[in-house]
Structure 1
């Protein structure tokens, strides 16, 4: 029996339901949306009401073979007749909780020791989707950590010779970092940071406060969130002040990497994090090229420090993207293009500078971030343009478009009308 199963494992895929194994020959499935079709007299068109995602059904063909095939058949019969859903382990679908709605078995005429089986299942819980999401988030965190170590190491190596000239060159590097840090202080005090800090507020706050992934805190109030923001601003200011106290390249690199992360952690809404970190990733220092040895060392230190500052902001941007939840496939595509371009440009600059470790880490981080955004965007509807002959209230439009008045806040946020009772005649909305 072991030899037979070992031979089949080389030719076919293995699966199991409720722990009973079988061999998979072929599989199929059906997917779509659950529509209720409404028909009306004297109308040529129907109204398909979207009731949500249709159940994911799976059809599997397989067989049991060997002296124990009849015992396995009986075990599968018992599993099929057991109340409730069971665990299906499929070689390509993965691990899901599914209800077995039909199980058929056939014994071939004149052939002993083999039983053909067919089964139909309906998915109850998909563990693979959440596993993939967690794996992508973990991969982004790992790639970001690798990128941080590589950029700090390359910075220390690149500035080893310039900083050997003395305190004046180190002071030039600290000045660039301090100038960039001033932008971080301004970012955490900006209106975008205040709005982003309000992300955990409970309730429907319309277009004014809405998080793209912020965790709602039922006990949060405006005062408590503003107090937290004030405390976080002090942390950011302390990290920026530490830039001027660095005594060598290693300490300066560590201090630079800490600044954007403290800014990111100060804002609860991932969309707000991206908004305040983006200017830091585009920082540019004024470097004066000189032929003198000390002047050349200062220019090298300034350029390397500015590059590390941008890379530190990119690292925090990647972490923010891992928590950001796009509202449509279009939003995800725009963010992929935006972040992908930033990471690509940084990787090209690292390659031109000969920073091989940073280049490899950036390429890996870019691949993980773009894959994560593509995975999120693939599950979301597109953005379409809706046109009406006259201004209508947002609640009426939500009922017309989605048969759900609770979708009105999203329409208001996208159209940004003067008043929700008078929506524009043309605006963008989600397709479903």
Structure 2
């Protein structure tokens, strides 16, 4: 590979730039203060200077006039745009006024002097809606209402007649295939049987502990990538736990044991909901110099999964007192539970709205994905720098594409995140 092969094809806002020379400037902005009777000035560092990127471009060939008109139109178009720099890859810039010149002796050729400057993230403070606060507030409300609903349901379903072995068997069978559920239970209780025994003997205290079983897993998350993947897995786990709880409450021949088992699965689904909502509330809704942002496509998938899961939970709460297991209880059990069930469904709907709005804001600030195929086997660091001028994206390339070794990225279509 020659040195020219390492250069990117230059363009601005998608318009190719045929360039002959390129230059730029870097450095610090300095304020030089001179004082009477002082031989040495005081130099004040005002921060890094604006980085200009200059090109001597040319429009030539059979379509030189069309190329010139297209290039000038792009330069005059409003707003910032993406510059693909031959050395530095993709940059967000604004175009300064350009100049062009034509010499009749040169034939069909026009030289164009272009200059671009990097664009900052924010020129002035901009108010940002506190979407994360709305998610956390909705989570607190849901926790209060769910805690009350589960405790009251335990008091109404004649739990003293439930058999520990039967309940344990049903819960074990239901959660064994749900990713992370058994491990989550074991972070708070000694075993599934211990959880059942505590719920039956001290329901108020045990239900409070039950709703925190996924907190340890949340605290172990290592960053945005972990939070995003965990959110997707939790969304799927919520749907599985909810479906299995619904099946137990839907039995026409329900028993105290099956009701308690269904209630525990319902509690686990809601515990997972509370934990994942709090974790996702920590995702950033704005880009910044030192702010890591997730990939927009990943957030879109998490948002879709969580929206479906929350809506299903809210729908179940709306008809909870009409399920065979609850409707068959002696009066006035269903009547007493109806207001609490309705309040819980409204809290779930509010969390559905708040989390959807927050994840939409996170997605709009997220990184985009593109597919590229390297021309040869390369280290991930080199590929990331060649693709976007940012070697820090190497770990993301390795993780997203399941690369066996970061020094040997194979020649195959790869998904690469970029700003």
TM superposition score normalised by structure 1: 0.54
Query: For the Cα contact (< 8 Å) 2:393–2:417, is it kept in 1?
Result: no
Q: Tell whether the 8 Å contact from 1:184 to 1:260 is kept in structure 2 after alignment.
A: no
Post-superposition offset of 1:351: 1.6
Asked if the contact 2:232/2:301 (under 8 Å) is kept, the reply is no
Determine which structure has more spread, i.e. the larger CA radius of gyration.
Answer: 2
Q: Is the 8 A contact 2:167 2:196 kept in 1?
A: no
Counterparts in 2 of 1:189 and 1:175: CA distance versus 1, 3 Å: closer
Number of residue-to-residue matches in the alignment: 284
Assess if the C-alpha contact under 8 Å between 1:382 and 1:431 holds in 2.
Answer: yes
Please tell me whether residue 309 in structure 1 is matched to residue 268 in structure 2.
Answer: yes
Cα distance in 2 for partners of 1:249, 1:399 equals 57
Matches of residues 119-268 of structure 1 in structure 2 within 5 Å? 124-126=123-125, 128-129=127-128, 132=129, 135-163=130-158, 166-168=160-162, 236-237=188-189, 241=194, 243-246=196-199, 247-268=201-222
CA distance in 2, matches of 1:416, 1:409: 10
Gaps of 5+ in 1: 1-33, 56-121, 191-232
Residues 150-177 of structure 1 deviation map (CA, whole Å, 9 limit, x = unaligned): 122222333433226x342687667666
The residue number in structure 2 matching 1:274 is: 231
So what's the TM-score if we normalise by structure 2? 0.56
Structure 1 Cα separation of the partners of residues 150 and 275 of structure 2? 18
State the Cα RMSD in Å.
4.0
Query: Which residues in structure 2 correspond to 1:32-431 (within 5 Å)?
Result: 36=53, 38=55, 47-48=84-85, 50-52=90-92, 124-126=123-125, 128-129=127-128, 132=129, 135-163=130-158, 166-168=160-162, 236-237=188-189, 241=194, 243-246=196-199, 247-269=201-223, 270-271=227-228, 273-274=230-231, 277=234, 280-281=237-238, 282-283=240-241, 284=244, 287=248, 295-324=254-283, 327-354=294-321, 355-423=341-409, 424-431=411-418
Per mean C-alpha deviation after superposition, the further-off stretch among 393-402 and 313-322 is 393-402
Aligned pair in 2 of structure 1 residues 264, 422: CA closer, same or farther (>3 Å)? closer
CA contact (8 A) 2:235 2:306 kept: no
Tell me if the contact between 2:313 and 2:348 (Cα under 8 Å) persists in the aligned partners: yes
Distance 1:244 1:179, change over 3 A: farther
